[in-house]
């Protein structure tokens, strides 16, 4: 072990979460700010003026499986995150479609936002198989931690966040072992806030488990405009079954150990989420870009590397891509002619 790693490990052992930032003011971001704010000062980036005004007026409030509220400082840009003081950690709670934009804005100011080496750590509080690695690549910085979250939430009309299902524990991990002390301290902080979290030395199997579930269920729910339970009780369940089977084959070929009787375990998790309506459903309803790129497209990319066929993922991804293409057409001002 070289001297720089020894210094890094010592600094990580001494690290404490004094003030944290949250990027993203959707259901996951506001709920996180509500919970964290009960234990430590929080600054949240809310680009949407209505969301920002709601948080300023009513605070960040979460109900359901966890009850918490706080008054985070609200800013409109990542560059302003440090206005109330330097940060120990920054949680990225945006959609994975925003990773590139977040990284472009965060990379130039990341070191300046920290409260001293080795801070700030960036925590991917997101769905998908590769968002943590993508943040590392785009930030050109290894100080990225990854969480796997076993709960779903939605924003109510009054701005409060409601947790609609939760199956703890949640998990936090990293790719560099010297960062494990930081993971443990963040896990303790999150647990104290009501979000029971454990540190894992190998986050990849958990990332894949959650990613395969989301890739099997979310796009089917979006295409049928349905909750998880409605999908499972409909003929579309057969598509979920094919998507999950293909995903498990890819994980197996990649050498990802998902535990004993992985398929049955994943089905139990899917059945437990019957009341949940995936956020991709609302993305399609509202004409927003979906997260298919971090779900099915990632399964497809891994499948190609290991020589596994994934026809169901390719078909479903293409259908969701058609919705995303329409979003791009509208945002770019391009119109297409329809023929009779």
Q: What is the DSSP letter of 275?
A: T
* Domain end among 201, 220, 235: 201
| 70 alpha carbon, distance to own chain's centre | 21
Q: Does a structural domain hold residue 340?
A: no
Output the pLDDT for position 8. Answer: 73
Domain boundary among 157, 178, 201: 201
What pLDDT score was predicted for residue 9?
80
Residues 318 and 170 grouped into a single domain: no
Q: Does any domain span residue 11?
A: yes
Percent of the chain with pLDDT strictly greater than 90: 87
| CATH number of the domain encompassing residue 287 | 1.10.1040.10
Residues 247 and 277: beta-carbon distance below 8 Å: no
Query: Residue 120 gets which letter from DSSP?
Result: P
Q: What is the pLDDT of residues 125-162, one digit of tens each?
A: 998 999 999 999 999 999 999 999 999 999 999 999 99
Residue 75 lies in a domain: yes
C-alpha 1/C-alpha 251 separation (Å) is 32
Given a cut of 60, is residue 7 above it in pLDDT? no
| Residue 95 DSSP one-character state | -
The answer to whether residue 160 sits within a structural domain is yes
How does pLDDT run across 23-73, given as a tens digit for each residue?
Answer: 999 999 999 999 999 999 999 999 999 999 999 999 999 999 899 999 999
Beta carbons of 107 and 73 less than 8 angstroms apart: no
Cβ proximity of 142 and 110 under 8 Å: no
Among 172, 201, 230, where does a domain finish?
201
> pLDDT tens digits for 245-279?
999 999 999 999 998 899 999 999 999 999 999 99
Regarding whether 215 and 170 lie in a shared domain, the answer is: no
Question: ω into residue 118 within 30 of 0, thus cis?
Answer: yes
Which residues, in sequence order, are bridge partners of residue 43? 21, 73
What are the structure tokens assigned to 293, written together?
A: 């790129």
CATH of the domain at 106: 3.40.50.720
**Domain, as residue range, for 272:** 205-331
Q: How many domains does the chain have?
A: 2
Q: Are residues 53 and 162 in the same domain?
A: yes
Instruction: Give the Cα separation of 215 and 81 in Å (integer).
Output: 33
235 and 109 in a single domain? The answer is no
Residue 336 domain-assigned? no
DSSP per-residue string spanning 27-83:
HHHHHHHHHHTTTS-EEEE--SHHHHHHHHHH-EEEESSS-EEE--EEESSGGGGGG
In a domain, 339, yes or no: no
Q: Are residues 107 and 144 in the same domain?
A: yes
Sheet of 161-166, strands arranged across: 68-70, 60-63, 161-166, 151-155
């Amino acid at each position: 072990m070289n001297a720089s790693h020894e210094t890094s490990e010592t600094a990580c052992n001494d690290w404490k979460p004094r003030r944290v930032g949250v990027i993203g003011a959707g259901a996951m971001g506001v709920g996180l700010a509500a919970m964290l704010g009960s234990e430590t000062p929080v600054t949240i980036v809310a680009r949407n003026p209505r969301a920002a005004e709601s948080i300023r007026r009513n605070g960040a409030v979460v109900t359901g499986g966890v009850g918490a509220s706080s008054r985070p400082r609200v800013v409109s840009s990542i560059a302003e995150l440090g206005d109330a003081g330097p940060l120990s950690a920054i949680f990225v709670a945006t959609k994975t479609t925003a990773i590139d934009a977040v990284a472009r804005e965060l990379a130039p100011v990341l070191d300046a936002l920290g409260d001293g080496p080795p801070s700030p750590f960036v925590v991917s509080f997101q769905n998908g198989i590769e968002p943590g690695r993508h943040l590392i690549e785009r930030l050109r910085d290894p100080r990225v931690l990854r969480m796997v979250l076993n709960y779903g939430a939605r924003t109510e009309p009054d701005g409060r966040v409601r947790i609609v299902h939760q199956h703890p524990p949640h998990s936090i991990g990293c790719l560099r072992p010297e960062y494990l002390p930081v993971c443990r301290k963040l896990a303790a902080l999150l647990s104290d806030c009501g979000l029971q979290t454990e540190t894992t030395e190998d986050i990849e199997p958990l990332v894949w488990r959650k990613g395969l579930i989301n890739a099997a269920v979310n796009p089917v729910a979006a295409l049928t405009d349905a909750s998880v339970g409605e999908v499972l009780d409909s003929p579309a369940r057969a598509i979920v079954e094919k998507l999950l089977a293909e995903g498990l084959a890819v994980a197996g070929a990649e050498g990802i150990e998902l535990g004993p009787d992985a398929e049955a375990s994943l089905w139990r998790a899917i059945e437990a989420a019957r009341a949940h309506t995936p956020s991709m459903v609302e993305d399609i309803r509202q004409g927003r870009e979906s997260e298919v790129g971090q779900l099915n497209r990632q399964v497809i990319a891994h499948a190609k590397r290991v020589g596994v066929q994934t026809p169901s993922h390719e078909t479903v991804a293409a259908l969701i891509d058609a919705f995303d293409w329409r979003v791009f057409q509208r945002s770019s001002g391009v119109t297409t002619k329809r023929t009779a």
